[in-house]
Chain A
Amino acid sequence: MNQEDKEKDYFESPIHLEYQYTAGAATTRFLNKVKEGKLVGQECPKCKAVYVPPRGSCPRDGIATNREVELVDQGCIESFTIVHIPIPGNPIVPPYVCAMIRLDGANISFLHLVDGIKLTDIRIGMRVKAVWKPKSEWRHSLENIKWFIPTDEPDVDVTKLRFKPE
Chain B
Amino acid sequence: MIPAAVIGVGQTNYKAKRRDVSIAGLVREAIDKALLASDVEWDAIDAVILGKAPDMFEGVMMPELYLADAIGAVGKPVIRVHTAGSVGGSTAIIAASHVCSGKFDTVLTVTFEKQSESNATWALSPRYPYSPHINAGAGGYFAPFIREYIRRHNPPENIGWKVAVKDRINALKNPLAHLQILGIDEKMVSDSPMLWEPLRYLESCPSSDGACAMVIANKNLSNSRNAAWIKGMAVRSEGTLSAGRDEVNPQGGIDCAKDIYNQAGITNPRNEIDCAEIYVPFSWYEPMWLENLGFTDIGEGWKLTNEGLTELEGDLPINMSGGVLSSNPIGASGMIRFGEAALQVMGLAEDHQVKNAKVAMGHAYGGAAQFFSMWIVSSTKD
Using a CB–CB cutoff of 8 Å, the interface residues on chain A facing chain B are 4, 9-10, 13, 15, 19, 21, 23, 27, 30-31, 44, 47, 49-51, 53, 55, 58-60, 78-85, 87-92, 98-100, 107-108, 110-113, 124, 139-143, 145, 158, 162-165
* A58 cross-chain contacts in B, Cβ below 8 A: 242-243
Q: How far does the Cβ of A7 sit from chain B's closest Cβ, in whole Å?
A: 8
* A83 cross-chain contacts in B, Cβ below 8 A: 134, 136, 140, 195-196
* A88 cross-chain contacts in B, Cβ below 8 A: 119
13 A-B pairs with CB atoms under 8 Å apart are A15-B59, A30-B130, A55-B241, A59-B240, A60-B243, A60-B244, A79-B148, A80-B144, A81-B196, A84-B197, A98-B143, A108-B241, A124-B151
The B interface is mostly helix, strand or loop, or mixed, namely loop
Query: Interface residues of B toward A: which range?
Result: 35 or more
Number of A-B residue pairs at CB separation under 8 A: 134
| Contact status B129-A84, CB under 8 Å | no
Quick one: closest A residue to B148, CB to CB?
A: A79
Q: Mark B132-173, 1 if CB is under 8 A from A, else 0.
A: 111111011101110110010000000000000000000000
The A interface is mostly helix, strand or loop, or mixed, namely loop
Quick one: closest A residue to B117, CB to CB?
A: A10
| Contact status A90-B135, CB under 8 Å | yes
Given contacts A4-B19, A81-B197, A98-B140, contact A162 B130 (CB under 8 A): no
Contact of B145 among A55, A79, A85, A143 (CB under 8 A): A79
Contact of A49 among B20, B128, B140, B243 (CB under 8 A): B243
| Contact status B246-A27, CB under 8 Å | no
Q: CA of A110 to CA of B140 in the docked complex: distance in angstroms?
A: 13
* B198 cross-chain contacts in A, Cβ below 8 A: 81
| Contact status B244-A23, CB under 8 Å | no
* A91 cross-chain contacts in B, Cβ below 8 A: 135
Quick one: closest B residue to A91, CB to CB?
A: B135
Contact of B137 among A31, A85, A92 (CB under 8 A): A85
| Contact status A162-B134, CB under 8 Å | no
* B193 cross-chain contacts in A, Cβ below 8 A: 84
Does B121 sit within 8 A of A, measured CB to CB? yes
